[in-house]
């Protein structure tokens, strides 16, 4: 068991990081920390993907010195997927940051519980 964990230590670390990011995103009440959690979660997924895409001893997937045999190179697809994924997570982070900014301007806090309380009080005043 320990042997397996050690052999796949990067993947194990990625799983732990993913869990840390996921719980932070879901459970933390502070919007900034949630966004950090989101980024940890996504980065952990990319770490996992990058680590399985790299094969020790092989070349980067760029045709060089006339070596045409595919088995000499690493698989370029995981790197491509990671790039796509990074673009996705950057845009999601940007939107979440923009929303947080608007919430902060309106309610002067980043704590979700406090914002809920203010919204609730406002709703009661309206009635």
Partner 1 sequence: MSSFVLNFPLFMIILCLVCAAVGTLLPRAAARTVSLSLAALCLAAIFCVFLYVYGAGQEFEYRMGHYPHPWGNELKIGILESLFGMAFSLVLFLSLLGGKDPLDRLVEPGKGRFFYVMADLVLVALLVLVYSNDLFTGYVFIEICTLASCGILMIRGNGRTVLASTRYLIFSLTGSGLFLFGVIILYNITGHLLMPDLKEAVGALTASGAYRFPFLASVSLVSIGLAVKSGLFPFHLWMADTYGEAVPTSSAILSGLVTKGYAFFLVRFIFDVTGPDIFWQSGVQNVLFAMGAAGVVMGSVGAIQENNLYRMIAYSSAAQIGYIYMGIGLSADLGLTAALFHILLHALTKPALFLSASRLSARMGGALKFRNLQGAGYYEPAAGVYFTAAAFSMIGLPFTMGFISKYLFGLAAFRASTPKLVLTLLVLAVSTVLNTFYFARTVLRIYNAPKKPPAERQPAKDLPSYIIAGALFALINVAVGILSGPLTDLLGYGLSLF
Distance of CA 39 to the CA centre of its chain: 4
Q: What's 62's DSSP letter?
A: S
Q: In angstroms, give the least distance from the CB of 6 to partner 1.
A: 17
**Tokens 């923009």 sit on residue:** 98
| Using rule CB under 8 A, residue 115 touches partner 1 | yes
For residue 89, give the nearest of 30, 18, 27, 11 by alpha carbon: 18
Q: How many other C-beta atoms are found inside a 10 Å radius of the C-beta of residue 122? A: 10
Chosen residue from 5, 26, 83, 86 binding partner 1 by CB under 8 A: 26
Phi, psi of 109 (to 5 degrees): -155, 160
| Using rule CB under 8 A, residue 41 touches partner 1 | yes
Tell me whether residue 74 or residue 96 sits nearer to partner 1 (CB atom): 96
| Using rule CB under 8 A, residue 85 touches partner 1 | yes
Residues that bind partner 1 (CB under 8 A): 11, 18, 21-22, 25-26, 31, 34, 38, 41-42, 44-45, 48-49, 52, 77-78, 81, 84-85, 88, 91-92, 95-96, 99-100, 102-103, 106-107, 115-116, 119
């Amino acid at each position: 068991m320990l042997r397996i964990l050690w052999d796949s230590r990067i993947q194990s670390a990625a799983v732990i990081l993913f869990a840390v990011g996921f719980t932070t995103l879901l459970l933390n009440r502070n919007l900034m920390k949630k966004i950090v959690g989101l980024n940890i979660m996504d980065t952990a997924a990319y770490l996992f993907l990058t680590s399985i895409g790299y094969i020790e001893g092989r070349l980067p997937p760029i045709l060089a010195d006339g070596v045409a045999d595919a088995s000499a190179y690493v698989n370029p697809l995981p790197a491509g997927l990671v790039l796509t994924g990074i673009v996705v997570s950057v845009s999601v982070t940007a939107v979440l940051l923009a929303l947080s900014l608007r919430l902060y301007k309106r309610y002067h806090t980043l704590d979700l519980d406090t914002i809920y309380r203010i919204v609730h009080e406002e709703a009661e005043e309206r009635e």
